Structure 1
Amino acid sequence: MVTLYWAEDGVFPPSDRGLAYGDGLFETIRVDGGNAHLINYHLDRMIRDAARLRIPIHRAELERLFHQALKRYSDHYSGSSWVLKLTLSRGSGGRGYRPTPDMQPNLLISHAAMPALAPNTGVAVDFSRVPLTVNPLFSGMKSLNRIEQVMAASELQDGVFEMLMANAEGHIVEGTRTNLFIETDHGWCTPSPDSVAVLGVMRRYVMERLRANAEEVHEAPVLLEDMFASTCRGVYLTNSVQGVVSVRTLAGQDLPVTGRLATICGSTPTME
């Protein structure tokens, strides 16, 4: 059984292990009125990664609490777009890193207004100086441990939408809050799942749409020169709130912008 907390009540326990150690997960869900984008994908990921962390929660319970939150907040936004956040921790108790047995998870639910969407004409992106490290045991997991992304995002300057991060091998892996896709003369390329810190639900949706459209997709290392090569037809960033975003300039250099990936995926992702 999960203990539910509403952020606006201000009673979340200070002994929570998510606060103390980043011992948990989170999902950030775009909602249009009362319709949540890609909600099944979000719930799939939280249940899958909770099992990886051995945090006990059942899909039916998570769905029930999500619908409770949707009902609680939807009227507040009067049919406009907003963002729902689910933060799941292992719970409270135990001093030090070692969790106590039979711990009861905590779920903190909060909401926020929808941020401004990126323009269809594309955005400016730069490279972060913060290296990205991915433990293979936790690759792809949207855990509360995001300090590298925090420090990379602190490098953002006015007019820059995102910072791209590279791993120790020099492969460009992802943005601080986005996954990466490149269209080339030979099909689409995106970094391999085991190299990615967060496997976004929008990434999953985009992969499905590309394959349904009979597009060739390669999951492989991405190098800096791949994005500036003459064979590059476009660079795109994806996340569940912004959808598909075209990169117009990268480190001050112009890139081709066709918007083709957004056309393939549709302007609004499926609600499933």
Structure 2
Amino acid sequence: MDITGMAATRVAECLVNGVPTSAVSARDRGLAYGDGLFETILVRGGKPTLAEWHFQRLALGVQALRLPVDLAVIRSEVEQQALLLGDGLFKLIITRGESLRGYAMPQQPQVTRILQSSPLPSYPAQHAEQGIRLYPCATRLGDQPMLAGLKHLNRLEQVLARSEWQDSVHAEGLVCNLAGDPIEGTMSNLFMRLDDRWVTPALDRCGVRGVMRGFLIEQLAAQGDAVEERSISFDELLRSTEVFCCNSVFGVWPVVALADWQWPVGVHTRDIQTLAKQVLM
């Protein structure tokens, strides 16, 4: 009950096509083939953070996968449920819906939308304050330019990479492409300070274009500190003066170590942490 004595409305733990349930058909193509997209959205004070960037990426994914989605309906549902959630996380999943056996797309798909809510994650404060150690993952990202950048449901590369360590010493893992060039973390994007400017790996062949990555690129460009997006060699990573990883949930974590290599937590990284904190509060 609220202070008026009326029953308070609570956010549903899971909505499927707007209905409170966790049941999804066994014929759903998201389950069978990973045929769909997802977004993990931080909610603070009843508002989805970085909403513009999340829905811009979702729109690109919908177009690339040819999913007949009404983005206005989805955004309205997210915003309404965010008011009820207050603080927490949403996982928004969009699939092509049900179909018969086989890869062929249904001619008139009935898209499935799933909105799951969960409490805020609890990360150690020292990750942001003192920096993190990266685990050097052996799992490599394969090249697929048609899907590069999208947050699609096929995440087996990330699942395998994250399974490589179980200790608490490493907060994140470095994942490279087939050539051994650094691309991203298992759940984050990478930025490096190289020759007194920020660079971040190009994601035109593999990797996920994180929304925090996009936000920071825009903000830094507006401040006259443009980020260069390009291929980066492993040697360039090692000679960087500052390194950090970022995502739309934890913000920015300085990277201080990878195997035997170490970096300081630099003043440029601290400035970017401030930018990220402002948009996630």
Same fold (TM over 0.5): yes
2:155 to 133, 146, 150: 146
Offset from partner CA, 1:202-235 (integer Å, 9 cap, x none): 0101101111121142111122211222xx2211
2:247 to 239, 250, 260: 239
Give the Å deviation of 1:262.
4.2
1:83 to 89, 101, 119: 89
Please, what TM-score do these two structures have when normalized by structure 1? 0.90
Instruction: State how 1:23-172 maps to structure 2 within 5 Å.
Output: 23-74=35-86, 81-117=87-123, 118-158=127-167, 159-172=169-182
1:180 to 190, 198, 214: 190
User: Is contact 2:134-2:170 (8 Å) kept?
Assistant: yes
Question: What is the alpha-carbon distance in structure 2 between the residues aligned to residue 233 and residue 33 of structure 1?
Answer: 36
Matched, 1:227 2:227: no
Paired residue for 2:222?
A: 212
Offset from partner CA, 1:147-189 (integer Å, 9 cap, x none): 0100000012322011111111221111111111001223111
> Structure 1's 33 and 156: CA in aligned 2 closer, same or farther, altered over 3 A?
farther
> Structure 1's 14 and 71: CA in aligned 2 closer, same or farther, altered over 3 A?
farther
Question: What is the alpha-carbon distance in structure 2 between the residues aligned to residue 22 and residue 71 of structure 1?
Answer: 30
Paired residue for 1:78?
A: none
Please, what TM-score do these two structures have when normalized by structure 2? 0.87
User: Is contact 1:152-1:163 (8 Å) kept?
Assistant: yes
Paired residue for 2:199?
A: 189
Question: What is the alpha-carbon distance in structure 1 between the residues aligned to residue 128 and residue 152 of structure 2?
Answer: 29
Amino acid at match of 1:235: V
Question: What is the alpha-carbon distance in structure 2 between the residues aligned to residue 134 and residue 269 of structure 1?
Answer: 35
Paired residue for 1:255?
A: 263
Paired residue for 2:4?
A: none
Gapped regions of structure 1 (runs ≥ 5): 75-80
User: Is contact 1:43-1:62 (8 Å) kept?
Assistant: no
> Structure 1's 69 and 259: CA in aligned 2 closer, same or farther, altered over 3 A?
farther
Gapped regions of structure 2 (runs ≥ 5): 1-15
User: Is contact 2:47-2:79 (8 Å) kept?
Assistant: no
Q: Secondary structure at the match of 2:61?
A: helix
Instruction: Give the structure, 1 or 2, with the largest relative contact order (CA under 8 Å, sep 6 or more).
Output: 1
The percentage of counterpart residues that share the same residue type is 33
User: Number of residues paired by the alignment?
Assistant: 262
Amino acid at match of 1:134: D
Paired residue for 2:9?
A: none
Larger CA deviation: 192-201 vs 241-250: 192-201
Give the Å deviation of 1:259.
5.0
Larger CA deviation: 183-192 vs 260-269: 260-269
User: Is contact 1:38-1:269 (8 Å) kept?
Assistant: no
1:4 to 8, 17, 26: 17
Question: What is the alpha-carbon distance in structure 2 between the residues aligned to residue 121 and residue 37 of structure 1?
Answer: 25
Question: What is the alpha-carbon distance in structure 2 between the residues aligned to residue 262 and residue 55 of structure 1?
Answer: 40
Give the Å deviation of 1:252.
3.8
